[in-house]
Structure 1
């Protein structure tokens, strides 16, 4: 028989990855455009530097994170970020260094450290190949990966299960550092968007990573199945804000890119000028 109305027992499962009662925020930042992206090549864990556009994107993201409450404000706590953690690959390191330099420009400091757990998904035999070559040589495998990413992956590459296994310790360290020495929070304060709540005063950290690893990060934090890998969109130098209240994660902002608007305007002007020049030939 059903439980009486209003008295139904609800069972919740708390992911032990997230410290009990954690009040904290993570700002996830994807790296800027790399040379392989410009060339249309699969990157994975290949070492590729930022392109000139990527360096501009990183500088704009860095400026926004160095002054996060300037309009358009990011939904991060008051005070400086606790640490800046990043994948050790060149494109993420360059992006992280840009953020570090922007924060330190006015005399502030932030601890920066690389973590191998944040490396991009290894793409095996696909790394370094142009997307058209991969389609031609590995068409069925590529289609299977796009259709069922939990059950298919690049030959010689990492499965999503393997990726999640190496990612979890990195996330555990991040969250433990944020919760160290702080009392557990509560859910007594309502969390409803639109009520102009002041910025919280709990700790926060910045994480610079990759499209694939951030997809798995979000699935892991929200205890969603890895089959949902393709549900998240992560633009270059887009910023995603995850807030934890009493250990419960909430997406406060996803893939914020307003800070890149000036770069988009420059590209539009350049493209318009290029069309005018070609039309004059």
Structure 2
């Protein structure tokens, strides 16, 4: 059997709720410590990671030869990257509200469409799964990647209603030919 623990990268700075998208800020010291607490005492058959340093750096600390999968990077938020939702609302409120209401057909200006993002994430995981040996695997990735996986795997209608704080981990059993099964959900560990 194969299990996959999805771990969202830790906090990158003191500004909460930033749409980092494909910008590549490093994880803060507190974020790194939260990720260490999330994996403490666990052993992995292998580690896969987004190429963005806020995931990749920690993954390589755990397993220097981890597999970096380009299509596990976060959704591209176009001109909204690096801004908080409040900042986007102040500068582009009507378009942001429309995107929130209909993310399947609208996208951020200069950004990535949600269906294309979802497709690349699922294609990347399917390709990885086709050659991955059974065991316990860790995937360092982003809130958006985790949300689209949860939406599909748990059949949740609205992915915006899924909150995935930094350093949250979710463990899934991925049976060959069967539906993923949620085994554990761990919010970020406090000090």
Instruction: Provide Cα deviations, 1:226-248, integer angstroms capped at 9, x if missing partner.
Output: x5222432121111011133532
- What is the TM-score normalised by the length of structure 1? 0.61
Name which of 114, 139, 143 aligns with 1:211. Answer: 143
Are 1:122 and 1:158, in contact at CA under 8 Å, matched by a contact in 2? yes
Structure 2 residues not aligned, in runs of 5+: none
Question: Shift of the alpha carbon at 1:50?
Answer: 1.0
Name which of 81, 90, 95 aligns with 2:53. Answer: 90
Question: Shift of the alpha carbon at 1:111?
Answer: 4.0
Query: Who is 1:233 aligned against?
Result: 163
- What is the TM-score normalised by the length of structure 2? 0.87
Instruction: Provide Cα deviations, 1:171-228, integer angstroms capped at 9, x if missing partner.
Output: 01221123x5xxxxxxxxxxxxxxxxxxxxx512110100001111233445x47x52
RMSD (CA atoms):
2.3
Distance 1:121 1:170 in 2: 14
Are 1:238 and 1:257, in contact at CA under 8 Å, matched by a contact in 2? yes
Alignment: residue pair count: 190
Distance 2:22 2:153 in 1: 23
Are 2:45 and 2:135, in contact at CA under 8 Å, matched by a contact in 1? yes
Query: Who is 1:150 aligned against?
Result: 104
Residue 47 (structure 2) pairs with residue 117 (structure 1): no
* SS, match of residue 137 in structure 2: strand
Query: Who is 1:188 aligned against?
Result: none
Distance 1:247 1:32 in 2: 32
Query: Who is 1:174 aligned against?
Result: 128
Residue 191 (structure 2) pairs with residue 251 (structure 1): no
Distance 1:41 1:235 in 2: 12
* SS, match of residue 174 in structure 2: strand
Q: Which has the larger radius of gyration?
A: 1
Question: Shift of the alpha carbon at 1:160?
Answer: 1.0
Are 2:173 and 2:182, in contact at CA under 8 Å, matched by a contact in 1? yes
Query: Who is 1:266 aligned against?
Result: none
Question: Shift of the alpha carbon at 1:131?
Answer: 3.6
Instruction: Provide Cα deviations, 1:72-111, integer angstroms capped at 9, x if missing partner.
Output: xxxxxxxx523211111111123323433xxxxxxxxx74
Query: Who is 2:113 aligned against?
Result: 159
